[in-house]
Structure 1
Amino acid sequence: MKKPLSKCFAYNLFVLVFLGVMFLGSAQTYAQTTVAGKVSDDAGVLPGVNVIVEGTTIGSVTDFDGNYSISVPENENVLVFSYIGYTKQSVSIDGRTQIDVTMSEDAQGLSEVVVVGYGTQRKADLTGSIGSIGAADIVSKPITSPDQALAGTISGVNITNRSGDPGSPISVNIRGVGTPGVNDPLWVIDGVPIVQTTNITVNTSSTTDSNPLAGLNANDIESIDVLKDAASTAIYGARAANGVIIVTTKRGKRGDARVTYDGYSSFASIRNTIDVLDVDQYIDVQGQLGTDLSQFRGQPYVDWQDLMFKSGFVQNHNVSVSGGSEKATYFISGGYLDQEGI
């Protein structure tokens, strides 16, 4: 005959089962971790700092008080903090839900000497208003052209696209009309100024015949910085009188080859249609006007709006391969975009 379990053994068994259930519950909670915290420097809090889950497009931005909150997938463990003029920091989560970061100025970047037309200028000496968007802000939007990522993102920047087609000419104004006849800013892509063809009209406005971003894939852009003030002329000369838009593309990093895929598919449709009369209502109105209704006999009813508009399918796929060694790095990418009209 088996002896009954002792009270001590039963108690220990209960504790083990309870701890096992708690462990599974905590593991499930960790799969949906929300990490929050505050970002600051030696002078105080930092608003507008980009917070990205490393290797993904999941990101957040600190508010005016330097606070942020971001949801982190189960298999990710590193947050990347980046801000203009500061050293990028990668912080391991390690199960934490509260991570406060103190950023330090990028002394090397601020001390870098830039060659200008009339001498040299340190980046740290540049004053004025600067707006910036990062890669996470760009790829998170269903856009067909990189210039669409700027629309409604940076204050004071107005973008007009004349046709809406991918790569079509655009007109950009930064803080309103500047130099009479020429309102477009200077575009600088990877350090190379882009010359645009401008048509000047009699009303002292201008339109461009090109789109500097037409040949770029939105997924290949690392950041877009907008220098809004005339102080930018100290670096780029008189061509920067209407502002400067600096585009930096992605580059390879030292390490093993890394393959990245990003894509989406969606449907586009007309949001609202005009409410019109159907055939019976139309005949009734014509009858009240004294119109001879015999002319409408045998005439079919056609919903022209339904006939003209349809649902358009959109798909966008991007693949990139990057890596390198101490001697050289590489970044190769390709994209496919297909957007049906509505």
Structure 2
Amino acid sequence: MKKQLFTLLFLTCIFFSARAQISISGRVTDAHGNAMEGVTVAIEGTSVGTVTLQSGSFSLNGVPSSNSVLAFSFIGFTTQEVTVGSRRVFNIRLGTSQSSMDTMVVIGYGTARKADFTGSASTVSSHIISNESNSTVTRALEGVVPGLQVSSIDGQPGLDMGIRLRGVSSTSQNSSNALIVIDGVPSQYPNALSTINPNDIQSITVLKDAVSTAIYGSRGANGVILVTTKRGRKGPAKITLSTRDGFNYLPRSIQPKLIQNAKDVYEYTWQSIYNSVRYGVGGTSSTNGTYSTNVQNPNMSASDAALFASQHLFDYNGSMTNFSRNWLGNWML
């Protein structure tokens, strides 16, 4: 009798325990509504979990209670946590994570984690490119990527700089440039990067070794530049304004000599009259509309020009015959 009661009590506990557990299902998509395969769906604090199918759908049995928290995670996307509550069907939309993208590297056939990637590649984020004060993307990469050289390959106006990753491997300079791939499409033009607005770029990945560039064959022999542009996002409109300003000045050590006092005013005025009457064009004090002076054949000797400048320091106005008070004479009043 006791054995039968114990068996009945055990079966009752199993029945109520089974009824207490919850079964849920749902579908996981990205920000564009595309199904996501391989998303991990787990219950926090337990070993219960599953992954989504190719269609993005999932089903999970054995959820302990309505207070359980479901965690949806995938590489490159923000982990989303949802409390079960009274819901039994979950349609989850995951958004990309910038911090997670920093651990990813774009390669020829997709993306890979930096920790698992064994090739030689460098990634440049959009923040670095947009903060550079350069007119082209090529200039922005200069000094940012190790081993990358930027040099002029032609004097043709408007032609962009050439990008070298493995030095010069050909007698033809154009044959040594890296392959430019924009959003997965190899460019056929040498001026590809000069036509892209730096603010439209999400990231740039530079592939350097043979393992990383193997998918491009002989075209990637000089390295590959992978450019990923920004895409539209669902949400409210966003306007960004970026301005730059600057100023130039001469260091104190090479500043021109400036007029500082009355002595300098007298000296430079006397020198200007001396040069005008001695080196004026056509025997006069004027340049006569030309861009040269009569230095090789002076109008008078140095002593005569010096005497004239001293005598007419206050009344010379460009004429050697008609004199009237000049600006220096007015300034002395």
TM-score range normalised by the length of the shorter chain: 0.3 to 0.5
The normalised TM-score by structure 1 is 0.40
Greater Cα radius of gyration, structure 1 or 2: 2
- Structure with the bigger RCO (C-alpha within 8 Å, sep 6+) is 1
